[in-house]
């Protein structure tokens, strides 16, 4: 297939006037303009402010640098997934660089991600998924999340995908081949809000064995944190249910028995959300907290039946048997969790899966 552009920058936008000019400035500063053909594709999702006018006013600046500007409109307005999908379908590039309307790409972003994509690609039909490092603005926002996401590399990208943090390659840094987008079938467009379209898309990519995941080591995106972020429309419970279902499909259905690591709030919540067949597979809870271990047994009380319906032993982590579902919050144990795993010789995916 012949592509008119090397890279299509995908910008979903709804009432984005507050930050859009800064976002566009970041794209105007891209160093790749000298070596790659780039187009800017913005999909307006029913804005009632100056979003479209701001981009139209910048059109001549992009055209002077050889970048085409394409504006499409989501009809009727359908949310972030619909806007991303609309922008992609209006584009004609081999690679898709996702840039939210409130985030800013570093000058070397497209160059570094395009170089990596070309390096790991053998043909135009290869399924490529590249991410990168990022920082938050204001500084200090979501510190634990940022640290976790920036630590993802290698096999962790495919494996540590069940935690509450979401995709291991963070959506504002996505740079993927059009072939992969077409293979997945695009984003869900039938749920206007409250749906994790990025996690849904990422999970579908994980289900494709030939998809190649990688990331550049550079800080390539300023990922803005503010009250109107689209991600805030997705509830924690929705994310929880979404990742629990995938955990079922990938692990719980295949295991005969398993252990829940954490006899505290998160471990008990996880157990409560399991169906009866899955609860029967739980061998034990394990913990390092002597007070929790001292209870000896976790008892689940059914409020409707007014009786204890399940009793599960609580053991010291030293006596725990894998496989384990780790419900401990990552990086909140001062390294104790990681040291125990290393000492035990447990391997992610084989002996345990993180669900914290």
pLDDT, one tens digit per residue, over 312-350 is 999 999 999 999 999 998 766 677 888 999 999 999 999
Calpha distance 64→62 (Å, rounded): 5
Mean pLDDT of 22-39: 97
Question: 155-207: per-residue pLDDT in tens?
Answer: 999 999 999 888 999 999 999 999 999 999 999 988 878 889 999 999 999 99
**Residue 355, token pair as written in the block:** 């669900």
Dihedral angle at the C-alpha atoms of 221, 224, 229, 231, nearest 10 degrees?
50
In sequence order, which residues have a C-beta less than 8 Å from that of residue 163 and are 6 or more positions away?
148, 243, 330, 354, 355, 356
Q: For the chain, give the mean pLDDT.
A: 94
Q: Is the dihedral of CA 13, 115, 187, 193 positive or negative?
A: negative
β-bridge mates for residue 308, sequence order:
301
H-helix or E-strand spanning residue 72: strand 68-73
What is the structure's pLDDT at 232?
65
β-bridge mates for residue 224, sequence order:
137
Work out the end-to-end distance of the chain between its first and last CA atoms, rounded to an integer number of angstroms: 43
Calpha distance 337→356 (Å, rounded): 12
Options 3.40.50, 3.40.1130, 2.60.40, 1.10.20; CATH for 255-354 is 3.40.50
Residue ranges of domains in the chain: 5-234, 255-354
**Residue 207, token pair as written in the block:** 């289900």
Would the pLDDT of 233 be above 80? no
Calpha distance 250→159 (Å, rounded): 11
Mean pLDDT of 120-139: 94
What is the structure's pLDDT at 1?
65
| Residue scoring higher pLDDT (207 or 226) | 207
**Arch. (CATH architecture) of 5-234:** Alpha-Beta Complex (3.90)
Mean pLDDT of 261-288: 96
| Residue scoring higher pLDDT (228 or 30) | 30
What is the structure's pLDDT at 302?
85
Look up residue 155 and give its DSSP letter.
Answer: T
Contacts 24+ apart (CB under 8 A), 299-307: 300/268, 300/271, 300/272
What is the structure's pLDDT at 124?
79
Half-sphere exposure of 147 (CA within 13 A, CB side): 8
Mean pLDDT of 73-77: 92
């Amino acid at each position: 297939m012949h592509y008119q552009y090397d890279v299509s920058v995908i910008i979903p936008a709804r009432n984005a006037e507050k930050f859009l000019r800064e976002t566009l400035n970041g794209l105007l500063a891209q160093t790749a303009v000298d070596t790659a053909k780039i187009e800017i594709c913005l999909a307006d999702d029913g804005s009632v402010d100056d979003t479209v006018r701001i981009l139209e006013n910048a059109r001549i600046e992009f055209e002077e640098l050889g970048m085409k500007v394409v504006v499409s409109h989501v009809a009727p307005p359908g949310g972030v997934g619909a806007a991303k999908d609309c922008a992609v379908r209006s584009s004609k590039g081999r690679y898709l660089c996702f840039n939210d309307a409130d985030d800013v790409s570093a000058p070397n972003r497209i160059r570094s991600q395009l170089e990596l994509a070309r390096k790991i690609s053998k043909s135009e039909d290869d399924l490529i998924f590249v991410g990168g490092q990022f920082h938050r603005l204001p500084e200090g926002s979501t510190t634990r999340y940022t640290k976790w996401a920036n630590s993802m590399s290698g096999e962790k990208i495919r494996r540590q995908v069940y935690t509450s943090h979401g995709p291991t390659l963070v959506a504002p840094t996505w740079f993927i081949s059009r072939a992969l987008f077409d293979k997945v079938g695009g984003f869900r467009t039938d749920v206007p809000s409250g749906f994790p379209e990025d996690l849904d898309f990422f999970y579908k990519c994980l289900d494709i064995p030939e998809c190649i995941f990688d990331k550049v080591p550079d800080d390539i995106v300023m990922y803005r944190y503010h009250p109107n972020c689209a991600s805030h429309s997705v509830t924690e419970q929705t994310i929880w249910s979404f990742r629990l279902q995938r955990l079922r499909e990938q692990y719980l259905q295949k295991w005969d028995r398993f252990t829940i690591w954490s006899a505290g709030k998160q471990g008990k919540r996880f157990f409560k959300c399991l169906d009866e067949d899955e609860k029967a597979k739980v061998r034990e809870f394990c913990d390092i907290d002597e007070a929790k271990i001292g209870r000896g047994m976790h008892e689940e009380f059914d409020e409707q039946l007014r009786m204890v319906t399940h009793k599960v032993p609580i053991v010291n982590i030293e006596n725990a048997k894998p496989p384990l579902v780790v419900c401990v919050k990552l990086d909140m144990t001062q390294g104790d969790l990681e040291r125990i795993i290393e000492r035990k010789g447990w391997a992610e995916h084989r002996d345990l899966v993180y669900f914290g």
